[in-house]
Amino acid sequence: MIRIGTRKSALALWQAHQVKHQLEALGHPCSLVPIESTGDQNLTQPLYSMGIQGVFTKTLDTALLNDQIDIAVHSLKDVPTQLPEGIAITAQLERGSAKDVMIYSSHFKGWEKEARIGSGSLRRKAQWLRKHPSHSVENLRGNLQKRMEKLEQSQWSGAIFALAGLERLALLKENFEVLDWMIPAPAQGIVGIASLEKNTSLNHVLHKIHSEKTAYCAHLERTFLSTLEGGCTAPIGAHAYWEGDQLYFKGGLFSLDGKTAIVVEEKHPNNNATDLGIKTAQKILSHGGKELIQQIKAQL
């Protein structure tokens, strides 16, 4: 019996059930072990002030190391780029949408000059303010259902969500707009499975539900993030994707108010680009990124 550790939110359970179904289809019985994370317990404090590194993953890491679970299922965008010793992301499911979406409130009649929107993400806030500098972005935390409820109870014009989560829980209503221009979080839309490196027989099983194409793009995005962040919680976006045999990569670093943006786009004709995330991040650092990160650290 494979014990699958998961957070308790509806989206986390949906993801864990996907892993369970795929493993059981291969003949491996599974059971779910729901565990509450620090990030789920505190829904008022902004994520960036909680020490974002591992805020949703630490309790599952501990459960893995203490042999309470065999695997942990995560939204990969929540997983720190540096994992605890002995733990690895051993499989990634085929990616859902990487895009962000604006959900309009039921009383939305059109954009006012000084509109208010909800988001708990520095990345979304910075990019929205860059496009709409007269708007204000207010903190929005909680699971998807709670955030949707808060939106309806607020006076906001709308709130920004990850498209993949809304699609997975069938929460996408008619009143929305896909934000194609917004650079997503690194690994957004990807379900990652963590396990102990030493558990080789289990990891061999997990590889059967692993998507190499997804993992390749996630590697580029996460190495981009780790090269840039240097322990800093900053508004960083990255997206790698294939169109035919062309690999595209777009990465960006933004000031907190969105007024400064350093964005690099790359295109490669083949898959021999495993260091593309690092090289793109280094370009950003050499074009004012180092100074911008220092400014962000001083402001947080």
Provide the CA 283 distance to its chain's centre, in angstroms: 23
Q: Which residues are catalytic?
A: 78
User: Does residue 131 register a pLDDT over 90?
Assistant: yes
Beta bridge partners of 59: none
**Phi and psi angles of residue 5, each rounded to the nearest 5 degrees, phi first:** -85, 140
The second-level CATH assignment, the architecture, of 2-93+190-210 is 3-Layer(aba) Sandwich (3.40)
Rg over CA atoms, the chain: 19
Residue 1: Cβ within 10 Å count: 8
For the 100-179 domain, the top CATH level (class) is: alpha beta
Question: 223-299 has which fold?
Answer: Double Stranded RNA Binding Domain (3.30.160)
| pLDDT(289) > 60 | yes
- Write out pLDDT tens, residues 69-92: 999 999 999 899 988 999 999 999
For residue range 168-188, list pLDDT tens digits in order.
Answer: 999 998 899 999 999 999 999
Domain ranges of the chain: 2-93+190-210, 100-179, 223-299
* Residues in a beta bridge with 250: 239, 265
Tokens describing residue 129:
């303010």
d(CA 127, CA 197): 37
Quick one: which of 18, 1, 11, 19 has its CA closest to 37? 11
| pLDDT at 270 exceeding the cut of 90 | no
Mean pLDDT over 250-263 rounds to 97
